Amino acid sequence: MKAFLNGKFVEKNEKLITLENRGLTFGDGLFEVLRVKDGHIFFFEDHLLRMKSSASFFGIPFPYSLDEIKNRAHELISLNRINDGELYIELTRGVDTNREHRYPPRSTQTTFFMLAIPLREINPENWKRGAAVFSFPDLRHKLCEHKTINLLPNVMAKNFAYERGGYEALMYRENSKGKYITEGGSSNYFLVKNCTVITPEIDNILPGITRSKVIKLLKESGIEVVERRVYLEEFLSADEVFLVSTVSMVMPVRRIDDREFKAPGEITLKAMELYRDFMDKEKERY
């Protein structure tokens, strides 16, 4: 398998990364995961613009134009013969032998790499009958609107769910009014209550690409969508819950901790169908 690293195609398993890369020593970098199917990369601009905007926020030079990245990504996908898979992109602030926290000079070469790999294995029952999810404290910092490689709290949360036979963790924070659910370890979520769809507003959570597509599709089909904070009690009294992400797409939830939900509910099925059709149309358009 090939990978793309700093302008070249290389063998994926070659030892290529310098130990003093700031991605390793400081978690000083960003990533994106894009869905690939039948030679098409879904929502390429959305993902890359999110990365570019975060790179600018953190002062990480962005090394290529979107067209260059897209061309190289297509080459990589065909080199690795990926039909149904994922494109992983990572950008770090590069190598810094001083291991100083402050940013190195802007002339330091960033590290930019891409992997094109087959889709990870997910039990199809999760889409048919719903996934089990577990709640876990959201232990993250205040930079959750950026897709940074600092994922330790997400790793802990998802591992907690995994050890209990779950697919995803839903993370919660607490204020004087109680616990509220922010997002999944690697997904956003929606709940349905009395035919209204509710999802947390973008307030220290990742502005998911799938989330924004699903909101638009539901609204266009006449379903009311409200973006606001969701407290645990309201969450537990929901009629339906579903997760959304590049990899999970729209996935019903059948259980959170000990509470069971109807899965898939009617609106969840509608969202699944709308999103599937939307992806099919996008694939035809390019």
Residue from 80, 199, 245, 268 binding ligand PLP (CB under 6 A): 245
| Smallest gap from residue 211 Cβ to ligand PLP (A) | 6
State the CB neighbour count (10 A cutoff) for residue 245.
Answer: 23
Q: Are the C-beta atoms of residues 54 and 70 closer than 8 Å to each other?
A: no
Q: Which of 147, 158, 213, 270 is catalytic?
A: 147
Please answer whether residues 73 and 7 qualify as being in contact, where contact means their C-beta atoms are separated by less than 8 angstroms.
no
Closer Cβ to ligand PLP, 92 or 246, answer by number: 246
Find the DSSP H helices in 164-236. Answer: 209-220, 232-236
The least CB distance from residue 168 to ligand PLP, in Å, is 10
Among 92, 186, 199, 268, binds ligand PLP (CB under 6 A): 186
Among 119, 85, 121, 82, residue whose Cα is nearest residue 1: 82
Q: Which of 206, 250, 253, 256 binds ligand PLP (CB under 6 A)?
A: 206
To the nearest whole angstrom, how small is the minimum distance from the Cβ of residue 132 to ligand PLP? 18
DSSP structure class, residue 21 = B
Contact status: 209 vs ligand PLP (CB under 6 A): yes
User: One symbol per residue from 21 to 40: x for binding ligand PLP (CB under 6 A), - otherwise; what is it?
Assistant: ------------x-------
Q: Could you identify the residue written with the tokens 């209550």?
A: 193
Q: Which is nearer to ligand PLP, 94 or 135 (CB)?
A: 135
Task: Give whichever of 11 and 273 is closer to ligand PLP, judged by the CB atom.
Answer: 273
Q: From the CB of 210, what's the least distance to ligand PLP, in Å?
A: 3
By the rule CB under 6 A, 135 interacts with ligand PLP: no
Residue 188 touches ligand PLP, criterion: CB under 6 A: yes
> At CB < 8 A and 24+ separation, what contacts does 59-64 make?
59/103, 59/106, 60/28, 60/29, 60/30, 60/91, 60/92, 60/93, 60/110, 61/106, 61/110, 62/91, 62/110, 63/6, 63/91, 63/109, 63/110, 63/112, 64/112
Rank residues 9 and 31 by Cβ distance to ligand PLP and give the closer one. 31
Among 77, 210, 217, 254, binds ligand PLP (CB under 6 A): 210
147 in catalytic set: yes
| 275 CB-near residues (< 8 Å, 6+ apart) | 210, 213, 214, 217, 244, 249, 250
Locate 56 and state its tokens: 């600018």
Residue number, 135 or 187, with CB nearest to ligand PLP: 187
Residue 147 contacts residue 206 (beta carbons within 8 Å): yes
Shortest Å distance, C-beta 30 to ligand PLP? 12
Could you tell me where the DSSP H helices lie in the chain?
Answer: 22-25, 44-58, 66-79, 125-129, 152-163, 209-220, 232-236, 266-285
Say how many residues touch ligand PLP, by CB under 6 A.
Answer: 13
Nearer to ligand PLP, 29 or 94 (CB): 29
Q: Which residues bind ligand PLP (CB under 6 A)?
A: 33, 154, 183, 186-188, 206, 208-211, 245-246
Which residues are known catalytic residues? Answer: 147
